[in-house]
């Protein structure tokens, strides 16, 4: 098992909070933008001492597992997990339950006097894809009809936002316990950095350590990438260390997970245009809770300064359009910057924006025969 090296206090506190709903046969949701459950959940499931502390002396009657959803059907993945657990406990020595539905499996397990406790992770698509929201409703139905099923669902989506208000009625079990987790503390970051420095046999100065923590804002994925780059390029400058291609790609991947409203707020804070966020108080509160914004002496700032790499890239995107037979970039006629062939291809792509352009179309284009779009 790969461990995530954090402070013992964090590991213990999170384990207790995430296990507690199971003790009372309840369910809930953990909103956590930094998706590290692939490491955190196995730590909890295999920590018998903590499980016994939280669930009591009869902890062995709790059948615990992690369900990774991603792009697969939630109910089908739960079914596969339950079937595998039954085989592990020798409940299905003759393979009798292979064709059972999830409901039938839960009934079968209930007769064994066992409580099913599932950590459901990698669920982002369930909430952002309207075609998949029915899977959440199916899960809610199972929770309401089978008292021996409890789940703690992890998501990076802020389901407390007003756009998900309908879930409060149709998936109320997930709202029984809601925790919004921030990015990691300075103490956790220091422990994580020390572990990786030891692992890779590298030494960094206190000044660099502090800057890594400050720029990453507690996002371990970014911390590890900066350390990895330093390991491979020990003579790199500070500018290069915090602005190399792979780091920019990872920052962009994080940025792409924000909603449009969240991007508006982050960009407004980055450009000091605070008047633009007056109508986004709920979004601001959420970003402050998870740590992507910070309030320092009444001034709202980026909690993860490295996010500015994605914000600057987005703001620097050039607007390209056609005006008559001229290519215009950011309001300036720029046709003279291109060769005849480049002009021909670019003008076609502008006219066919958001459409697929074939090689034949490019070949059939005559130079500078373009219409206004």
Question: Which is higher by pLDDT, 258 or 328?
Answer: 258
pLDDT at 278 over 80: yes
Query: Is 275 found in the same domain as 219?
Result: no
Query: Is 209 found in the same domain as 161?
Result: no
* Contacts by residues 281-284 (CB-CB < 8 Å, ≥ 24 positions apart): 282/161, 282/162, 283/161, 283/259
Question: Which is higher by pLDDT, 93 or 315?
Answer: 315
Of residues 207, 247, 258, the one with CA closest to residue 225 = 247
Residue 369 covered by a domain:
no
Query: Is 263 found in the same domain as 226?
Result: no
Q: Report the mean per-residue pLDDT for the chain.
A: 89
Residue 237 covered by a domain:
yes
Domain end residue (candidates: 156, 181, 206)? 181
C-alpha angle 345/346/350, rounded to 5°?
120
pLDDT of residue 348: 82
Query: Is 23 found in the same domain as 139?
Result: yes
Rounded to whole angstroms, the Cα distance separating 119 from 301 reads: 34
Domain end residue (candidates: 181, 198, 231)? 181
pLDDT at 338 over 90: no
pTM of the model: 0.81
CATH number at residue 298: 1.10.10
The dihedral built from the CA positions of residue 108, 65, 72 and 158, taken in this order, carries a sign that is positive
Residue 370 covered by a domain:
no
pLDDT in tens, 56-101: 999 999 999 999 999 999 999 999 999 888 888 767 656 677 788 9
Among the residue ranges 234-243, 257-266, 301-310, 339-348, the one predicted with the least confidence is 339-348
Query: Is 309 found in the same domain as 220?
Result: no
Query: Is 171 found in the same domain as 31?
Result: yes
Residue 373 covered by a domain:
no
* pLDDT class of 219 with cuts at 50, 70, 90: very high
Query: Is 203 found in the same domain as 154?
Result: no
pLDDT at 2 over 70: no
* pLDDT class of 323 with cuts at 50, 70, 90: confident
What does the block give as tokens for 9? 């206090």
Q: What is the pLDDT averaged over residues 225-229?
A: 97
- How many residues in the chain? 373
pLDDT at 1 over 50: no
How many structural domains compose the chain? 4
Query: Is 296 found in the same domain as 213?
Result: no
Among the residue ranges 187-191, 215-219, 273-277, the one predicted with the least confidence is 273-277
| Count of helices and strands (H, E) across the chain | 18, 10
pLDDT of residue 339: 82
pLDDT at 365 over 90: no
Query: Is 330 found in the same domain as 307?
Result: no
pLDDT at 335 over 60: yes
Residue 114 covered by a domain:
yes
Query: Is 326 found in the same domain as 273?
Result: no
pLDDT of residue 169: 84
Query: Is 98 found in the same domain as 201?
Result: no
Domain end residue (candidates: 315, 330, 347)? 315
CATH number at residue 66: 3.40.50.300
Query: Is 283 found in the same domain as 258?
Result: yes
Residue 358: which domain range? 320-364
Cα Rg of the chain, angstroms: 26
Residue 249 covered by a domain:
no
pLDDT at 174 over 60: yes
pLDDT of residue 369: 45
Residue 2 covered by a domain:
no
pLDDT of residue 368: 45
Question: Which is higher by pLDDT, 179 or 347?
Answer: 179
pLDDT at 213 over 50: yes
pLDDT at 35 over 50: yes
Residue 372 covered by a domain:
no
Question: Which is higher by pLDDT, 120 or 364?
Answer: 120
């Amino acid at each position: 098992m790969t461990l995530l090296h954090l402070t013992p206090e964090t590991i213990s506190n999170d384990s207790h909070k995430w296990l507690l709903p199971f003790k009372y046969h309840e369910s809930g949701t953990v909103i956590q933008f930094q998706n590290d459950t692939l490491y955190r959940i196995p730590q909890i499931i295999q920590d018998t001492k903590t499980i016994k502390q939280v669930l009591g002396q009869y902890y062995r009657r709790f059948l615990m597992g992690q369900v990774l959803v991603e792009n697969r059907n939630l109910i089908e993945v739960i079914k596969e997990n339950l079937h595998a657990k039954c085989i592990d406990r020798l409940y299905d020595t003759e393979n009798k339950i292979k064709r059972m539905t999830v409901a039938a499996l839960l009934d079968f397990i209930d007769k064994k006097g066992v409580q099913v406790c599932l950590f459901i992770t990698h669920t982002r698509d369930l909430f952002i894809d309207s075609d998949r929201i029915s899977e959440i409703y199916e899960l809610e139905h199972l929770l309401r009809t089978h008292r021996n099923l409890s789940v703690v669902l992890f998501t990076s989506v802020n389901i407390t936002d007003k756009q998900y208000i309908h879930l409060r009625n149709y998936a109320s079990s997930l709202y029984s316990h809601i925790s919004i987790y921030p990015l990691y503390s300075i103490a956790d970051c220091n422990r994580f950095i020390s572990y990786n420095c030891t692992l890779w046999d590298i030494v960094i100065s206190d000044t660099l350590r502090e800057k890594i923590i400050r720029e990453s804002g507690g996002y371990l994925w970014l911390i590890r990438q900066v350390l990895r780059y330093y390991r491979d390029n020990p003579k790199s400058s500070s500018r290069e260390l915090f602005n190399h291609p792979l780091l920019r790609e990872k920052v962009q991947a994080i940025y792409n997970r924000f909603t449009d409203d969240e991007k508006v707020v982050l960009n407004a804070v980055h450009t000091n245009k605070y008047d633009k966020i007056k109508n986004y108080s709920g979004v601001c509160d959420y970003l402050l809770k998870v740590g992507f914004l910070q309030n320092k002496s009444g001034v709202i700032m980026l909690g993860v300064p490295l996010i500015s790499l994605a914000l600057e890239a987005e703001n620097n995107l050039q607007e390209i359009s056609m005006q008559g037979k001229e290519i215009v970039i950011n309001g300036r006629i720029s046709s003279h910057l291109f060769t005849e062939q480049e002009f021909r291809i670019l003008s076609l792509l502008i006219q066919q924006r958001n459409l697929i352009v074939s090689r034949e179309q490019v070949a059939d284009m005559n130079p500078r025969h373009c219409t206004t779009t």
